[in-house]
Every structure is written in structure tokens, then in C-alpha cells.
Amino acid sequence: MERRLTAILTIDVVGYSGLMAKDEADTYERLRAERNNFVEPTVATHNGHIIKLMGDGALIEFPSVVDAVSCAIAIQEGVAKRQIEVQVDQRILFRIGINVGDVIVEEGDIYGDGVNVAARLESLAHPGGICVSRAVFEYTRGKVDHPFEAMGEHQVKNIPDPIDVYRVTMQNTVGKPPPTPRPMFRWLKLGGGGITAMLAGLVLWFQPWQPTSSPLPLQEFQAPADRPSLVVLPFDNLSADASDDYFADGLTDDLITDLSGLSGLLVIARNTAFSLTDQPVDIRDVGRKLGVRYVLDGSVRRAGDRIRINAQLIDSQTGDSLWADRIERNASDIFAVQDEVIRHIVETLSVRLSLSEQKRLERLPTQNLEAYDYYLRAEHAARTGFRPQLNEALALYTKSTELDPEFARAFAAIARTEAYVMRSNYDDVLAFPVARKRAYEHASKALKIDAELSLTYSVLAELQVIDGRYEDALISAERAVALGPNEAEAYAALNLVHTFSGRHADAVAAIETAQKLNPNLPNGTRLDASLAFMLNGQPERAVSILEQARDAAPNVDEIYTYLVAAYTLADSIELAHAAAAEAERLEANMSVELYRMKFGHLRRAEDLTIVLGALAKGGLQKWPWGFDAGTREPLTADEIRHVTFGSIWQGNVEGIGPGVTQIGTDGSLAFRTNAYIATGEVTISGDMLCERVESLSLGRTVCGPIYRNADSLVEGEYMYTYVNATKVFHFSPVD
């Protein structure tokens, strides 16, 4: 077996399925011309060798890493010039990923993790962009004419460890890179005790795969007449060290969080406020677009152990400054500074505080700064959504609660993280039943300590609706809203409960309130909102909000799957088929039956029928991995019983590899692959075999047929194929 160290470049056309759906012949001819007349000559000029063409992409090898990066830059800048006159929705743009690594060479092709990482880097690039690994960055730094920008660690599919990603900074490209999120968690010395704490916003719900801001235009809203409305603009960092940006961001975050807890104010959510970072701001324009009367603007300067904050409250309708002040304190008094700013706002706007709100403002999250330190480190790790960091976050939350057993926010946050692990079915972090049990336990603990945390009730609402406890979930969601009247996350939880309970008009009303509080909703909330719109007979609104989600995160398979249903219900079948193709390209096991399982907690059977019918009509594959029974006949119930109970199956699982299943005469199940081991039970329903494994598929039962393969099998083929929502298993019974 031949191996060699080489530079690997993968290139792919952006939105190829959509272009083909619009005009197949024209797209094919234009892509072929671009490849033959420009891309291939450019590769040859830089000493590259095209290993293979793959439909809309290519795998290319270079003996020099510098040549690979130089070639990629030449391609992207050249394509930008060649496509500038083409209509925007018809442009052929590329994404490029580059890695350097050891590869296996066989019959003119190359294989191995080096190739896989390059492909994953390509998927992270923006249209017209180039993403490279740390190794490529180290090899080429200072040797090419373009600078690099760090994108941080990314956990990518089928690569066990996170990879450090860098993008090449280019001006002359057609596509635009998304803004790189600024780090929201850094270290700040608190006083002379030497205890460190991180300043960061206590965001009450997280969407790990969301960008922190979006360049999407903001929808205009009308300012409410019943109470003052406010947006806190990101505070400017005036410190000598530009790296102190985190300090200003943290101050902004905490002010938004505390002000959002006041029922007498309407406060715009954090990620909408931060979408205005580094933009020229016209106060009147901001007020009109966000539907707020008042704007809090300010700056912060840090020098040694001293901080100076300038803040002013402005009437967006007149431009008048209603209050302005300069506050200078020791850095250890940061919470007192925040409290002073909040009280000035409350007094200026004549906001009446309830007794509980007054007590909440006076109460620090914890008296133990070391516990607070661990808590904020855990928040930082949890926000990534990556599995290794989720393990780290759970450990840090545990340390925080051990240091302060009365730290309610930490218990609520660990419950939130466990709920995320549960619904994501990350059984390698925590098995589903364990994650579910702990999430309930920690949420209950948080409530015993502080019964007025909105976050805790939002977490409980989600847990309860997944469990089918619809009335309990509604009580929890309504309590979250009552305690967090300005928190879009609370209304998002209420929308989720109403949607899955079958109260679709109420769900739409809840999400409309969330949009007023946060015009720039996170993508996870946009998905939930789209489902509410679809089931309420408003598919056009679902399409609109899903297209926003797609534009903000173009490589998320679930967004395209929701778009399949929305486009179908809106009678845009061609677009639905293109979205289905993209969803399956991004995730081969995306299927109608997978969503039968994922939406199993829809209370009304007719709602599930609407969604699954739209997915099927829109062209999404019924079973994972493109399985098609063809002419094969499914086994009857009696035949399934004969081949199943008291049997051992040995075979191959699509996308995983060899697998063995052992089924007892009582229906007990043990299933083993190189990737995981699971135990559960099997039953027969009609002519389908049903599996229930508590640690997989949200603990739900998944059913599917068993097909008999060809009568005359050649050596190495299997007698049967069993398919359900989560796997395609080709097997033969063995003694």
C-alpha cells in the first residue's frame, strides 16, 4: 500500500442543485466551460494534478502547499472577475478547502483522513472563499500575498477531533464571508483576590450552530405604546488594547440580560443588538427598524485595575439625550457599575419595578466568584455545541455547583445543556435516558433555589413537550414568559409547546412576539417558527423565514429538509426537489422516516401527516442512504417472526460498516457495530419489524420492513435487508 504526504484541495460549486433545477442544460454547459477554460489551466499552471472530477466538484493534489493555496486564490479571484456580469442567482461560485496530510494512493485515487478533512474544510468556506487547516496555515504563512483569518475550532462530521480552521482573506471575490464572531468569553481579574471571572452575557438559550449575528436586513416594527422600549447597542471599546473588545461586549451582554427581566420595559434581544456591531449607526433609523423608542449607547475604557464607562440614553424619535454619565470604578466593582446604569435607566423612563424585580436586581448570581468563574467557562464551552466541549461544559458546571450548591443559574444552565444533548441524541456524551433524567433533576434543583428563573421553565417546557406532557409544558412555557416578559427565548418555548400541542394560531402569535423582541431570531427558533407557519396554513411565511435561516447557515442539512416541506406546501415543487437534493447531499441519512421519528411528539396525527406528506411529495427520500427496494419483496409478519426471534444476524450497516444483531426469543435486542453498542427490544407491527433502543432515536420506536434479496446470491452478498428511520442493515442469519 503506497502512502505519501501531499497537499489536498477540494472544490465544489455553491448551490449546484438549485442551478440545475432552474436550467439543467445551461448550468452544465457553463460549468463545463468554466472548468475547461479556466479552472483546469489554472491548476496546471500551479503544478496541480486533478485526481478526479465529481459532478460539481473536484479533488486536486499538489506537491507544494504554497502552490495549492496560490492556485485556490487565483481560481477564486479569476472566477469573481468572470462572474461579475452574470445575474446574481445564476452565478457559478466555488467553495475551496485545503489540507496537507498523509494519504493512501490506490489505482490513481487518494484516500484517508487528509482527504476527508479537506472536504470538511471546503464545506465551511463561504461562496467564493477558501478555508484551510492549521497545518496549511503554518506552511504558507508569509509565503502568499493574502493574510489569513482564524475561524477557531470546528467539530466536523466523521472527524473525531475538532480542527483549527483559517480562511484566506480576499477582497476581489463575488461571495462575502460571514462575520467572524468575536470571542464573547475572556478573562477579567476581579479585585486583589486574584480570582478570575469572565464577563459575558448570560444568554438564556443557545443555538450552537448559529452565527452570533446575521447581515440580513431588519424588518421594521412599531414601537409598543404600553411600555417603554429599548435597545442596548454594543458598547465601544476605547481601551488601548483592541483585545479588550470582550470587556465591552460582556458589559453589553449583562445589561441586556438584567434589563430583559423587567416587565415594565421591552428590550431587544442580544443577537439582534449585536448584529449592529461595527456598523455606522443612525439612532433614529435604529429606533424605526427595531420598533424601539429609546437607545442606550456607550463606551468603556479599561486601564489596569480601573474601568471608565460613558453611557447615554437617547430618545430615537427626537435624538435628544435623556441621561448621560461617566462612571469610573475599580474593575472588581463591575456588577455595581451595571447596577448603577440600570437604575439610571429605570428612573429616567419611570419604570415601575415589582418587589420581586427589585430583589432580583439586588441579588448577585452567586457570592462565590470561583463558582462564577467555572460557570462562565462552562457557558463558553457549551455554546460551541461540539461534543468534546459539551463534555467539558458538563464537568465545569458540576464544579460550579459543587462550590456553590445554591447557584441556581448554574443548575438551570446544566439542565439546558443536558436537554440539548438529549434532543440531539448525543449518546456518546450522555445516553438519552441519562441526559433526560439529569436535565429534569437539575431543573428541579434550580427551581428549589430560585423559583423565578425564566430559563428553568423554558427548559422544562421543552422536556415536557418531548415527553408528550402537553398541559405541563404549557404551564411551564407560560411561566417562563411571565418571568421573562422581554425574553424572546421564553416566547420561542411557548411557540414550541403550542406547535406540537396543535394550537397553531397561538403558536404563530407567540413567535410573532419573539420576533418583535428579537428581529434577528436564531436559526433553531426560525425552524420552530416555520413549522408553526406551515401547520397554520401559512407556508409562504415558512419559506421566508427558512430562506433567512439558509442564508445565515448554508450548510445545515435540517434547514433544507424543512424547506422541502415549506416549498411543497407553497406549491413550489421544483424548489422543493432542489432542497431535497441538497439535504441528502449534506446528510445521507436524511429521510421522511427520520422525521416520522423526530416529530413523533406532534399531538395531532393529522399534523404529522401534513409534514410527512409534504416531505415525500417534495422529493425527500423515504429511507436513509437512498435505499430503494426495487423489485425486492418485503417479508410478511410470519416470515419476519421466523427470521428474527432467537436469531443472530451478521452483515453490514450503510455508512458504518460491519454489524451484528442478536435477538432473543423474548424480543430482547443487542446490536453491535464498530461505532456503538445498543440494547433494546423488538416487536412486530403489521409487516414491519420495530426496534426500541432507549439510548437512541429519542427513546422512540422505529419500524421498517425486511426485504429478501436475490434468490441466487454470490459470495459476499447478504440474504436480507432491514431498513428503518436510522439505518439500512444488509444481513444474513448465522448459527
pLDDT beyond 50 at 461:
yes
Mean pLDDT over the full length of the chain = 83
Say which residue, 697 or 216, is predicted with more confidence: 697
Q: What is the pLDDT of residue 362?
A: 66
Please state, in angstroms and as integers, the Cα–Cα distance from residue 508 to each residue in 365, 373, 536, 538, 564, following that order: 34, 39, 8, 10, 20
Helix (H, G, I), strand (E, B) or coil at 435: helix
pLDDT beyond 50 at 183:
no
Say which residue, 619 or 369, is predicted with more confidence: 619
In this prediction, residues 463-472 reach a mean pLDDT of 94
Q: DSSP secondary-structure letter at 634?
A: B
Distance CA 379, CA 143 (A): 38
pLDDT beyond 70 at 308:
yes
Nearest to 546 by CA among 614, 478, 594, 613: 614
pLDDT beyond 90 at 3:
no
Q: Over the stretch 244-297, which tens digit does the pLDDT of each residue have?
A: 555 676 677 778 877 877 878 888 875 566 666 656 667 888 888 888 888 998
Q: What is the pLDDT of residue 5?
A: 85
Say which residue, 507 or 483, is predicted with more confidence: 507
pLDDT beyond 80 at 239:
no
Say which residue, 216 or 617, is predicted with more confidence: 617
Q: Over the stretch 149-181, which tens digit does the pLDDT of each residue have?
A: 878 778 777 677 778 888 898 765 555 554 443
* Cell numbers 484541495: residue: 9
Q: What is the pLDDT of residue 425?
A: 67
pLDDT beyond 60 at 31:
yes
Q: Over the stretch 501-525, which tens digit does the pLDDT of each residue have?
A: 999 999 999 999 988 888 878 777 8
Nearest to 249 by CA among 186, 311, 305, 207: 186
Q: Give Cβ neighbours of residue 661 (< 8 Å, ≥ 6 apart).
A: 648, 649, 669, 670, 671, 672, 729, 731
Q: What is the pLDDT of residue 163?
A: 86
Distance CA 465, CA 230 (A): 32
- Window from 545-549, 554-558, 731-735 with minimum mean pLDDT: 554-558
β partners of residue 80: none
In this prediction, residues 602-611 reach a mean pLDDT of 96
Structural domains of the chain in order of their starting residue, each with its CATH number? 2-168 (3.30.70.1230), 188-202+212-362 (3.40.50.10070), 522-622 (1.25.40.10), 626-734 (2.40.128)
